Chain A
């Protein structure tokens, strides 16, 4: 099980050909209080780099970009009633979707945890 990160502050935890995707704690901290999360439905096809979800804080709406292409196996519907979980457990319980990965080769360009930590420190 390996976790990868994007420059847009999403994470993807990969087990076999399934990836669990969310936004990082750094992103949640930047957004502030999350009040609404809009997720795709199961079965939706998503393409790497496309906005597939929306997260809204008191102040603004932000797109969440797909770290990888694939189809949505499950969306974390619990977030619709408890969007504040994104601030409490961004990289744990507040995952957004599980994806069946189309091409694991797309993971090559993503950062590992050490690289992502260094990236955030440079921001």
Chain B
């Protein structure tokens, strides 16, 4: 992930809010983003117990709409779904109105170009468009791919000038219900539209911390006073990227550019569940030959959880050995505040991928004992 020099960095609509709340700002995905407020450890634990507010406006929310426009009910959805399904292996056609799905953008070799969430809108009159959120660092690439592949058939509308924020943690639902009455009825990966301060916004029950929570896309002029008011609620604190990373790692969630990359397939990444039955049977997605072969025969390497058995964290790039031979590499690693110990994820040869397998991690030239562990490291608390 390239970091631009400070003078070319963009700011989200919440920049002034971050400064006011004491955020320590760093370059991330081309933006000046808060890495922490009171401290990564405290923010991480706060989110697991209360409600943490994350600015994710640097990400890539967008709408992909049929050239003919919206309306036309199920037929229109089928049409836009068929278009996006040429680029991703998930079953988008079968999404129910209001439902969202995690998927991956694939290259011709079945490698992952990004991970993204695709949502089908509610209401017959709104069909023919998809609400899509891609990663901030990958949005120019992804949007270029959409526009090139779907030219003349669908139109891309960027929405990254708005505020996209996440409220995560066990108390998020009670806070959200105060501001968006009715949103508590949503289940994980469902969304509904709201009007707030005179502006249309989208409330989704999802997130990337392993906790119950919501993501909200809202125009800046309506979102700024909303977030200012949320900060007056004692259950809510601002959370930086540092804790976002440790929360998602403990929850076994992948970070693009680290755990996912163009040479890694969704089967190697243990994301085979994003490819639903209809798509597997049809085999009609980029890189299907490789991916279907890996489903049948098993991949040569696999993403696994890793628990160092001593206190030293093992960071990204750490070599994994068994009996002195290299068998894999760590792709995300650090300290898990809720686990109260080091945690990591990485890719390892399939023969060594079973949970409980003893491995060595080469940290600063020294072999340190670790074992393959089941993911997630802490239970996910989604509202199913």
Contact = CB atoms under 8 A, between A and B. Distances in A.
State whether these chains interact: yes
Interface of A: 32-33, 35-36, 38, 54, 56-61, 80, 83
7 contacts: A32-B41, A38-B364, A56-B313, A58-B44, A58-B242, A59-B245, A59-B246
B6 to A, nearest CB: 15
A33 B41 contact: yes
B119 interface: no
A33 B334 CA distance: 12
B337 interface: yes
Nearest to A38: B312
Given A36-B335, A38-B364, A58 B312 contact: no
Interface in B95-147: none
Contacts of A33: 39-42, 337
B40 A36 contact: no
A35 B242 contact: no
Contacts of B311: 35-36, 80, 83
Interface of B: 35-36, 39-42, 44, 242, 245-246, 311-313, 315, 334-335, 337, 342, 364
Given A33-B41, A54-B364, A59 B312 contact: no
A103 B293 CA distance: 66
Given A32-B242, A38-B364, A58 B335 contact: yes
A36 B313 CA distance: 8
Given A58-B335, A58-B337, A59-B242, 12 more contacts: A32-B39, A32-B242, A33-B39, A33-B40, A36-B311, A36-B313, A36-B342, A38-B312, A56-B313, A57-B40, A58-B44, A83-B311
Nearest to A30: B24
Interface of B is mostly: mixed
Given A58-B242, A58-B246, A59-B245, A35 B315 contact: no
Contacts of B41: 32-33, 58
B315 A61 contact: yes
Contacts of B313: 35-36, 56, 61
A32 B334 CA distance: 14
Nearest to A33: B41
A56 B312 contact: yes
A62 B104 CA distance: 34
Nearest to A80: B311
Nearest to A60: B315
B364 A59 contact: no
Contacts of B315: 60-61
Contacts of B342: 35-36
Contacts of A57: 40, 335
Nearest to B336: A58
B335 A56 contact: yes
Nearest 10 Cβ contacts at the A-B interface:
A33-B41, A35-B335, A58-B40, A58-B335, A59-B242, A36-B311, A36-B312, A32-B40, A56-B313, A32-B39
B334 A59 contact: yes
A56 B344 CA distance: 15
B345 to A, nearest CB: 16
Contacts of B334: 58-59
Contacts of B242: 32, 58-59
B254 to A, nearest CB: 18
A83 B313 CA distance: 13
A56 B334 CA distance: 9
Nearest to A81: B311
A23 B126 CA distance: 59
A61 B318 CA distance: 12
B149 to A, nearest CB: 37
A38 to B, nearest CB: 7
B338 to A, nearest CB: 11
A83 B44 CA distance: 18
Nearest to B366: A38
Contacts of B42: 33
B230 to A, nearest CB: 25
